[in-house]
Amino acid sequence: MTAEPLHRRIFIDLEAQILSGEFAPGDRIPFEHELTNSYGCSRATVSKALSELAGRGLVVRKRRAGTFVAQPKAHAAFLAIPDLRAEVNKRGQIYDYRLLSRDIRASQDLVEFELAAGGQLLALTCLHSADQVPLALEHRLIALSATPEAEKVDFQCVPPGSWLLDSEPWTQAENRIGAVEADRASARLLQIRAGAACLYVERRTWRDGQGVTRVRQIFPGDRYDLVALFSSVHAKDQV
C-alpha cells in the first residue's frame, strides 16, 4: 500500500478539522511554522497543502496575517478531486494501473486549444483497477505549457492523476458528471457488456487561470459513486 505524500496528509488532516467544525469559519488555523514543527517537514510542504485547501475554497490565505477558514456559502459543494490510487488503497483493495497509450500532439478543437495555451498536449489513456477488476477508463490531456515536467514523467509507473495532485497544485476545478452507455471499445477494457450504464466524469483544472488538465473518466455504474459534502449558511444569514 502506497503511503500518502506528507503534504496530502496535512491537507487531509486540516480538511477534516474544517469540515467537522473543529476549525470554525473565520478561525485562524496554525501558522506555517507551527505546522512545520508539528509534522516535522519543510515550509514548502506545508505551503503546498495550504494552497490546495485555498484552491478548494476551504481557507483564505492572508499575507502576514495567516490562513483562515473561509466563510461558508449556501449549498457550496466540496467535491474533492479523487486520487483513485489512494481511494482504492484506503478501501483495503489492491490497486493496479495500466497505461494504454501516450502521445504528444497539438490541440484538435477549441476546448483543447484553450487548454494548450499555444503549447502541445500530452494525451494519455489509462485503465485503473481494484482487486484486478477494472474500475475506470481514463482519457487525459495535460497542457505542457503549464506543466512541462509531465513530458519527462514515466506514466507507466505512476498514474497521472496521482502525479498531478502531488506535483501541480490547482486553484480552480470544474466537474461535469453524467451517465453514458459503454461503447464496444470501452466495454471490452472495463469487462462489461456494450451498452451497460456507466458513470461519466469530465474534469478540468486550472492554476491561476492557466489550464492544467482535462480528464474524462468512465466508471462501470455498479463499481463507483461520488459523494459531495455541503456547507450551510449560519442561522443569522438565513432568510
CB crowding 22-51: b at 16 or more within 10 Å, else e: ebeeeeebeebeebbeebebeeebbbbbbb
Question: In the structure, what pLDDT confidence band is assigned to residue 234 with cuts at 50, 70 and 90?
Answer: very low
Strands 133-143 and 121-130: antiparallel
> What interhelical angle do 43-55 and 32-39 show, nearest 10?
120
Per the prediction, the chain carries an average pLDDT of 86
Q: In terms of Cα–Cα distance, which of 104, 94, 101 is closest to 185?
A: 101
User: Cell 513530458 maps to which residue?
Assistant: 151
Question: In the structure, what pLDDT confidence band is assigned to residue 229 with cuts at 50, 70 and 90?
Answer: low
Is the model more confident about 40 or about 232? 40
Q: What are phi and psi of 14, to 5 degrees?
A: -70, -40
One-letter amino acid at 14 equals: L
pLDDT of residue 154: 96
Share of residues in the chain with pLDDT > 70 (%): 88
pLDDT tens across 150-193, in order? Answer: 999 999 999 999 999 888 777 888 888 899 999 999 999 999 99
Over 60: is that where the pLDDT of 78 sits?
Answer: no
pLDDT tens across 98-125, in order? Answer: 999 999 999 999 989 999 999 999 999 9
User: Cell 457488456 maps to which residue?
Assistant: 193
pLDDT tens across 46-66, in order? Answer: 999 998 888 777 888 887 788
Instruction: Tell me which CATH code domain 6-71 carries.
Output: 1.10.10.10
Is the model more confident about 95 or about 173? 95
Q: In terms of Cα–Cα distance, which of 68, 75, 65, 73 is closest to 54?
A: 68
Instruction: Tell me which CATH code domain 84-220 carries.
Output: 3.40.1410.10
**How is the chain split into domains, by residue range?**
6-71, 84-220
Q: Do domains 6-71 and 84-220 have the same CATH topology?
A: no
The three-point CA angle 65-8-149 to 5° equals: 100
pLDDT of residue 236: 38
Write down the pTM of the prediction: 0.64
Is the model more confident about 3 or about 17? 17
- The Cβ of residue 194 has, within 10 Å, a number of other Cβ atoms equal to 12
